């Protein structure tokens, strides 16, 4: 249970900005329930919206502008004072937080893995069709199985699962299945050591206005230290690559050192992948070090050098 904190709020009413998809609303309600454990008198209302990315299912995420396509309009609700905080899937956030906002909490992370739906990876036949809307997932799939035929996939969880009949398998975040209690007949949760997740996958991020100290303090009470450290390392990796990087890239961090408490000197192991824009030349690397040396950024620099060298060699 989150600790009870002393917070001076001018009101016991809080407005949470969120997308209006079933998964996003579940996430916002989850954060609301955590906040009520901190302050039982809170009355929480949802300020939900359909973003441009939700409406334009005919375009891929890179075509829509990449990172931030599902978060920017929700962030604007907070910056405009129409909501007090916003709840996002951390994987949807830009690596650089917009001026005027602050991430006040990362609640405890869910399952970070990708899940193959409809068929186990080892059971996919030669030339099987697999649907995904992620260039990272596409690069990882083709790196493992160059024979696969990849198809585009967009929409909410229900829309995606309904398209299962048109493909041999599809890929989505395991946490989405867990949160909506969806249990397809076959779910192969892919090892993140080999099938490296998106930055922040499985985690939530709660943003507030940077000058709203009372709400910041309240939300900070639901922050999960280990999640904050690992997701921050992953976001630093993305920031080093360019913030809104549309290249096929992923990173996944874990704390090392057993049961030692999380802190500024905590050692992190972070593994990542990076490929060319067309998904070829996939590079892998791992960095381990204390948070003070910023292992996420070191990992990004190493992978960029590896990719540049591979592209140069291929061009010779």
Q: Could you give the residue numbers annotated as active site?
A: 92
User: Using CA atoms, how far apart are residues 169 and 121, in angstroms rounded to an integer?
Assistant: 9
Task: Go through 48-87 and write b for each residue having 16 or more CB atoms within 10 A of its CB, e for each that does not.
Answer: bbebebbeeeeebbeeeebbbbbbbbbbbbbbeeebbbbb
Enclosing H/E stretch for 235: helix 225-241
Q: What SS3 class is residue 215?
A: helix
Beta-sheet pairing, 204-209 with 169-173: unpaired
- φ, ψ dihedrals at 21, nearest 5°: -70, 155
CB 101 within 8 A of CB 211: no
* E strand intervals along 157-291: 169-173, 187-189, 204-209, 249-255, 267-274, 283-290
In angstroms, the CA 90 to CA 95 distance is 10
Query: Which of 225, 258, 239 lies closest to 299, judged by CA?
Result: 239
Nearest by Cα to 202 from 94, 122, 91, 124 = 91
Strand ranges (E), 95-153: 101-105, 114-117, 129-131, 149-151
Count H helices and E strands in the chain, helices first. Answer: 10, 13
Find residue 131's DSSP bridge partners. 151, 170
């Amino acid at each position: 249970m989150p600790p009870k904190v002393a917070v001076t709020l001018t009101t016991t009413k809080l407005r949470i900005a969120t997308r209006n998809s079933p998964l996003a609303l579940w996430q916002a309600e989850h954060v609301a329930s955590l906040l009520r454990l901190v302050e039982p008198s809170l009355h929480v209302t949802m300020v939900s919206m359909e973003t441009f990315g939700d409406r334009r299912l005919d375009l891929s995420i890179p075509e829509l502008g990449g990172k931030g396509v599902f978060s920017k309009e929700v962030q604007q609700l907070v910056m405009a004072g129409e909501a007090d905080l916003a709840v996002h899937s951390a994987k949807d956030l830009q690596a650089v937080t917009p001026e005027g906002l602050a991430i006040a909490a990362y609640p405890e992370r869910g399952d970070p893995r990708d899940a193959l739906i409809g068929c186990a990876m080892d059971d996919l036949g030669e030339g099987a069709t697999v649907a995904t809307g992620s260039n990272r997932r596409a690069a990882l799939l083709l790196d493992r199985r160059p024979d696969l035929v990849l198809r585009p996939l967009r929409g909410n969880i229900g829309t995606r699962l309904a398209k299962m009949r048109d493909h041999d398998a599809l890929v989505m975040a395991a946490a989405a299945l867990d949160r909506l209690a969806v249990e397809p007949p076959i779910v192969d949760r892919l090892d993140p050591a080999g099938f490296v997740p998106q930055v922040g996958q499985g985690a939530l991020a709660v943003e507030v206005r940077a000058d709203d100290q009372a709400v910041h303090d309240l939300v900070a009470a639901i922050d999960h230290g280990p999640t904050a450290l690992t997701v921050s390392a992953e976001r630093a990796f993305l920031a080093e690559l360019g913030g809104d990087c549309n290249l096929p890239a992923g990173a996944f961090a874990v704390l090392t050192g057993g049961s030692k408490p999380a802190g500024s000197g905590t050692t992190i192991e972070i593994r990542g992948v990076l490929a060319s824009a067309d998904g070829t030349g996939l590079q892998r690397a791992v960095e381990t070090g204390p948070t003070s040396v910023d292992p996420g950024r070191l990992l990004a620099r190493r992978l960029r050098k590896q990719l540049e060298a591979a592209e140069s060699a291929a061009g010779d």
